[in-house]
């Protein structure tokens, strides 16, 4: 895992096609803008984990 410090307006590029940009930061809260090709799924972590748990129970 890579951990970076970024300020509002700064961004990182992943695999030359996904941009994650900090659009707001205050008191421990961040707002991120994610720009990725349409074929790449973007899911919030809590929803991803919930789905994983559901899949485990179904197996």
Q: Determine the Cα–Cα distance for residues 52 and 50; give it in Å rounded to an integer.
A: 5
- Residue 27's pLDDT is 87
Q: What is the pLDDT of residues 20-40, one digit of tens each?
A: 999 999 988 999 999 999 999
Residue 59 has pLDDT above 80, yes or no: no
Query: Where in the chain are the domains?
Result: 11-58
State both tokens at 44.
């919030």
Q: Determine the Cα–Cα distance for residues 29 and 1; give it in Å rounded to an integer.
A: 20
CB 33, CB 23: distance < 8 Å: yes
Q: What pTM, to 2 d.p., does this model score?
A: 0.80
């Amino acid at each position: 895992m890579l951990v970076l410090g970024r300020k509002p307006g700064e961004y990182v590029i992943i695999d030359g096609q996904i941009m994650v940009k900090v659009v707001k930061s205050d008191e421990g809260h961040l707002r991120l803008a994610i720009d990725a090709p349409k074929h790449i799924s973007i899911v919030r972590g809590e929803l991803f984990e919930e789905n994983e748990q559901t899949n485990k129970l179904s197996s």
